Structure 1
């Protein structure tokens, strides 16, 4: 039995991936996970034997998918790990840009060394596995597991005595080395790799650039939940900077702004003709509301079902936890068969 590894991703569907996949129709053979994030849903779908296509605009999320979904067999070896951790730390991109911003100067020099060494691995998949494990190490050393905390607060929370006095926990893992965390997690990630005998593919693009070119039975939509803690570039953009070796810019079509998100959803729904079934995750704390989303979806289908369940994300406040509901919109595309006929007729001509 293969097990999804610890990823630490805000909004991750790990606890409800099975519930969502249980709703998939029996005739579905292919799935496009359009906002794949930490890939927990894709991982469950892959385990069930679906051919899975993933996409996420964040580079690090692409590497998660490349390592766990597209990858069917490649693992990091002892020799690969020796390559990653060989040599002397030096002053590079991380040192010059993020010393005493997110990490201490010596830690940034170590990260610069490991980033350079990852380029010496002999396959793209191994590089993805290394990036994902390095992400895990960086997250483990970061209070609150996200990169939007100011330096003074980081230093305070990494002080084990302060943490114990304040929270009755020393959180010593924040001060363990990158190498320590890497070695603690590498077996778990290697053991998560499996072959489902399908041609799974990972993409890294703006979703609107892909919708016309990918066909699948199911499209699963898990965009950022507008009005909640949903600034994924703010949470994890640093890791994209680390991979790129340069400052990246916030992406467009980010589903963050309440003023534009309704138009974005309408634009998104209008481009889903390649998919027989649409599955959309959202919750009752987000914008647009359930009724507003139903109004938009009804423009494109009369066959819509909404199911719901209680679900709490770790960052949700105590008061909201008691009332938080997760929605799953299930849409059967009324125009799907018509589009197939049109495509067939065009091919015949």
Structure 2
């Protein structure tokens, strides 16, 4: 069995992906993972032989999917590594915009070099693997594994002596090089690539642009959990900036704002007729509540059930961890009509 690599993604379903996939009906052959994030659920479903269509609005999440789900055979070899790390660091986009914002100036110059070199790789799958590994390296160097800290706090937490006095851990990995982390994880990512003999597809779009195009037996919905620490653009948007060499802007339809969450969910549920089964992951600490979501789902199907289990997220505090429950809403769509499944990879990078 192939193994999902270390991705470090807040809200990742890695620990419960098997439990979720165990609930899928046996007649299902295709899955649309509409908010794929770190792709742990898609990866588990790929291991089980389903044809997978992933989507995420963050470009780095598209690249994770392209590297680990769509990609059936392409690996990074010794020649690719030489290409990525050759040359002298220079003052480019990352240096000009993020020196002493998230990384030290020399580190930003290294990122500018690596970004330039990744573009020289021979295939999109190789580029995606390189971006996924560079993301892992950037995350490993960042305290709390997210880009929402101010520079003074980052410097403080990267001070190994301070970390030892405060937390009894020096966290030396924060000060190891991008190259060190990249190479340390290379074999794990290469070994995660496998062929499940399906035409898996990765999208990079707003979910509402795809619901009339993509058709699948199952749609799995794992949107940001409104009312919790769920600002994924804030957590990982910097990696999109690195990929595009542009300062990207927060996206709409982001499920972050309580004022628009119910309207967004209702809009989402109203557009799911291309899918026979709907699976929605949500959390008891989030908004809307379980009963509110049951009401919204009940507008579109009379066949709705919800199961639950305890599930702790590392980002939550100790008290909340003891009370966390993960809900899985399961809907059979009575309005579903069998159609020929046609999917078009329309993502633009």
Report SS of the residue matched to 2:26.
coil
Summarize the alignment of residues 326-337 of structure 1 with structure 2, pairs less than 5 Å apart. Answer: 326-337=326-337
Q: How far apart are the structure 2 equivalents of 1:29 and 1:253?
A: 29
Deviation digits for residues 33-88 of structure 1 (CA, Å, limit 9, x no counterpart)? 00000000000000000000000000000000000000000000011001000000
Offset of residue 340 of structure 1: 5.2
Q: 2:121 & 2:283 partners in 1: Cα distance?
A: 41
Spell out the pairing of 1:105-254 with structure 2 (5 A cutoff): 105-254=105-254
**Unpaired stretches in structure 1, ≥5 consecutive residues:** 342-349
Structure 1 residue 334 displacement after superposition: 1.0
- Is 1:95 aligned to 2:115, yes or no? no
Query: 1:287-298 to 2 correspondence within 5 Å?
Result: 287-298=287-298
What do residues 134-187 of structure 1 show as CA deviations (whole Å, max 9, x unaligned)?
A: 000000000000001000000000000000000000000000001000010000
Residue of structure 1 equivalent to 2:33: 33
Give distance in 2, aligned partners of 1:216 and 1:43. 16
What is the CA-CA distance between 1:209 and the residue it aligns to? 0.2
Structure 1 residue ranges, 4+ long, deviating more than 4 angstroms after superposition: none
Quote the Cα distance in structure 2 between the aligned partners of 1:56 and 1:35.
Answer: 5
What residue is the counterpart of 1:345 in the other structure?
none
The two structures have a TM-score, normalised by structure 2, of: 0.97
Aligned to 1:66: 66
Which residue of structure 1 lines up, in the alignment, with residue 272 of structure 2? 272
Aligned twin of 2:22: 22
Secondary structure of 1:336's counterpart equals coil
Output one character per residue of 1:187-222: Cα deviation in whole Å (capped at 9) or x when no partner: 000000000000000000000000000000000000
Structure 2: distance between partners of 1:230 and 1:269: 21
Partner of 1:285: 285
**CA distance in structure 2 between the aligned counterparts of 1:290 and 1:4, rounded to whole angstroms:** 30
State the match for 2:304 in structure 1.
Answer: 304
**Paired position in structure 1 for 2:263:** 263
**Number of equivalent positions:** 340
State how far apart, in whole Å, the 1-side matches of 2:133 and 2:245 are: 17
- Provide the TM-score with structure 1 as the length reference: 0.97
1:81 and 1:340 map into 2 onto residues whose CA distance is 44
Alpha-carbon separation, structure 1, partners of 2:336 and 2:97: 49
Alpha-carbon deviation of 1:276?
Answer: 0.1
Give the secondary-structure state (helix, strand or coil) at the position aligned to 2:286. Answer: coil
Partner Cα distance (2:47, 2:222) in 1:
19
Q: Please list every run of 5 or more consecutive structure 2 residues that lacks an aligned counterpart in the other structure.
A: 341-349
Equivalent position SS for 1:52: strand
